[in-house]
Amino acid sequence: MAYQKTTWVDHIVDPVTGDVVQQGTKVTATRLNKMEQGIAEAQVLTEALAQTVIGSPVVSGLEFSASGLTAQWTAGVAYANGVRFEVNAGSIKLSATQGQYIFLDSDGVVKNTTSQEAADAKCNLWYFATDASSIITSVDNRNIVSKDMFVKESEVAASGANKIARLDGAGKGAFSITGDAASVGGKTIGQGANQIPTRDASSRLVADQLANFKKNKSSKDANGIFKIVEYRRVADNTLYMKSTLSNPDAKGNYQTDTRVYYKTDGATVDSTVTVTISYDADGDVVSEVPSA
- Mapping DSSP onto H, E and C, the string for 168-201 reads CCCCCECCCCCCCCCEECCEEECCCCCCECCECC
Beta-carbon neighbour count of residue 104 at 10 Å? 27
Q: pLDDT category, 218, cuts 50, 70, 90?
A: very high
Residue 242 predicted with pLDDT over 90: yes
pLDDT score, position 186: 59
pLDDT score, position 277: 93
pTM: 0.41
Q: pLDDT category, 180, cuts 50, 70, 90?
A: very low
Contact 256, 272 (CB under 8 A): no
Q: pLDDT category, 179, cuts 50, 70, 90?
A: very low
pLDDT score, position 182: 57
Share of the chain above pLDDT 70, in %: 74
How far apart (Å, rounded) are the C-alpha atoms in residues 292 and 256? 14
For residue 75, give the DSSP letter.
-
Query: Who wins on pLDDT, 196 or 67?
Result: 67
pLDDT score, position 193: 63
Residue 59 predicted with pLDDT over 90: no
Contact 261, 240 (CB under 8 A): yes
* CATH 2.40.128 domain residues, the chain: 210-290
How far apart (Å, rounded) are the C-alpha atoms in residues 182 and 190? 9
- Burial classification of residue 78, based on how many CB atoms lie within 10 Å of its CB (0-12 exposed, 13-18 middle, 19 or more buried): buried
Residue 208 predicted with pLDDT over 60: no
Which residue type sits at 164? I
pLDDT score, position 217: 92
Query: Who wins on pLDDT, 174 or 11?
Result: 11
How far apart (Å, rounded) are the C-alpha atoms in residues 275 and 258? 6
Residue 149 predicted with pLDDT over 60: no
Contact 129, 98 (CB under 8 A): yes
Q: pLDDT category, 54, cuts 50, 70, 90?
A: confident
pLDDT score, position 43: 77
pLDDT average, residue stretch 212-241:
89
Residue 194 predicted with pLDDT over 60: yes
Residue 251 predicted with pLDDT over 50: yes
Q: Does domain 210-290 have CATH number 2.40.128?
A: yes
How far apart (Å, rounded) are the C-alpha atoms in residues 228 and 219? 6
